[in-house]
Structure 1
Amino acid sequence: MRVGFIGECMAELKELDGQLSEGFAGDTYNSAVYLKRTFNQHETFYISAVGSDPLSDQMVAGVEEENISTRFLKRDTEKHIGLYRIYTDDEGERSFIYWRSDSAAKRMMSMFDATDIASMTALDMVLFSGIALAILNEDDLAQYWMLLSKLKASGTKLVFDMNHRPSLWRDNEAAKALYAKAFELADVVLPGLEDFNFLYGFETIDEVISYLEQFTFDEIIIKNGSDPVTVIAEGNRMTIPLTPATKVVDTTSAGDAFNGVYLGARLAGVEIEDAVQKASKCAAFVIQHRGAIVEAGTYQDFVQNLA
Structure 2
Amino acid sequence: MFDVVGLGELLIDFTIVGSNASTPRSIRGSAGGAPANVLAAVTRLGGTARFIGKVGNDEFGAFLEGSLLDAGIDTEGLVRGDEATTLAFVQLDAQGERTFSFARNPGADTQLAVTEISDHCLKDSKVFHFGSLSLTNEPARSATWHGVERARSYGCLISFDPNLRPPLWPSLDLARQMMLEGIKLAHIVKLSEQELQFLFGTDSIADGLKSIQSLNQTAVYLVTQGEQGCTYATPDFTGHVASIAVQPVDTTAAGDAFLGAFLYALTRGGSQASLQSEAQMRNLVRFANVAGGLTTTKSGSFSALPGLAEVEAML
Q: TM-score, normalised by structure 1?
A: 0.89
SS of alignment partner, residue 303 of structure 2: coil
Deviations for 1:176-216, whole angstroms, at most 9, x for unmatched residues? 22122212210111111111223432201112111112213
- 1:117 lines up with 2:122 in the alignment: no
Aligned ranges 1:96-245 → 2 under 5 Å: 96-112=100-116, 116-134=118-136, 136-137=137-138, 139-214=139-214, 215-245=216-246
Take 1:57 and 1:71, find their aligned partners in 2: how far apart are those partners?
14
In the TM superposition, what is the alpha-carbon distance from 1:95 to its structure 2 partner? 1.1
- Please, which of 25, 30, 36 is the counterpart of residue 37 of structure 2? 30
5+ residue gaps in structure 2?
275-279
Q: Structure 1 CA distance, aligned partners of 2:223 and 2:266?
A: 16
Partner of 2:93 in structure 1? 89
Structure 1 segments unaligned to the other structure (5+ residues) = none
Check if 1:79 corresponds to 2:88.
Answer: no
2:6–2:35 Cα contact (<8 Å) kept:
yes
Is the partner of 1:72 in helix, strand or coil?
strand
Residue 113 of structure 2: SS of its match in structure 1?
helix
Structure 1 contact 189–217 (Cα < 8 Å) conserved: no
Q: Which stretch has the larger CA shift, 26-35 or 170-179?
A: 170-179
TM-superposed CA distance for 1:234, in Å, is 4.8
- Report sequence identity in percent: 20
SS of residue paired to 2:252: coil
Q: Distance in 1 between matches of 2:291 and 2:176?
A: 30
Give the counterpart letter for 1:280 in structure 2.
N
Structure 2 partner of 1:284: 293
Alignment deviations for residues 36-92 of structure 1 (CA, whole Å, 9 cap, x no partner): 101x2x32001101122222112111110111000100111x112111222111121
Alignment RMSD (CA, Å): 2.1
Quote the Cα distance in structure 2 between the aligned partners of 1:119 and 1:55: 24
Q: Which amino acid aligns with 2:230?
A: V
Match of 2:55 in 1: 50
Give the aligned partner of residue 302 of structure 1. 310
- Deviations 1:255-282, CA, capped at 9 Å, x for gaps: 1111111111111107221221121111
C-alpha separation between the residues in 1 aligned to 2:110 and 2:256? 20
Query: Is the alpha carbon distance of 1:119 and 1:45 closer, same or farther for their aligned partners in structure 2, counting shifts above 3 Å?
Result: closer
The SS at the match of 1:273 is helix
In 2, the alpha carbon distance for the partners of 1:255 and 1:223 equals 7
Aligned residues: 298
Stretches of 4+ moved more than 6 A in 1? none
Distance across 1 between alignment mates of 2:146 and 2:71: 29
1:60 aligns with 65
CA contact (8 A) 2:197 2:208 kept: no
CA change 1:287–1:295 in 2 (3 A) is closer
TM-score using structure 2 length: 0.87
Q: 1:3-35: per-residue Cα shift (whole Å, max 9, x none)?
A: 111111111222457432221111111111111
CA displacement, residues 148-192 of structure 1 (integer Å, 9 cap, x when unaligned): 112112211101111111222222321222122212210111111
Match of 1:260 in 2: 260
* Offset of residue 305 of structure 1: 2.5
Whether the aligned pair in 2 keeps the contact of 1:188 and 1:218 (CA below 8 Å) is yes
Distance 2:169 2:7 in 1: 19
Residues 118-149 of structure 1 show CA distances to partners (whole Å, capped at 9, x for unaligned) of: 44123211111112112x31x44234323311
**Aligned equivalents of 1:258, 1:112: Cα separation in 2:** 29
What code does the residue aligned with 1:55 have? Answer: F
Q: Which amino acid aligns with 1:13?
A: F
Counterpart amino acid of residue 93 in structure 2:
D
Matched residue SS, 2:257: helix
Structure 2 CA distance for aligned equivalents of residues 238 and 196 of structure 1 = 16
* 79 and 129 in structure 1: CA distance in 2 versus 1, 3 angstrom threshold: same
Q: Secondary structure at the match of 2:64?
A: helix
Q: 2:282 is aligned with what amino acid?
A: E
* SS of 2:72 mapped into structure 1: coil
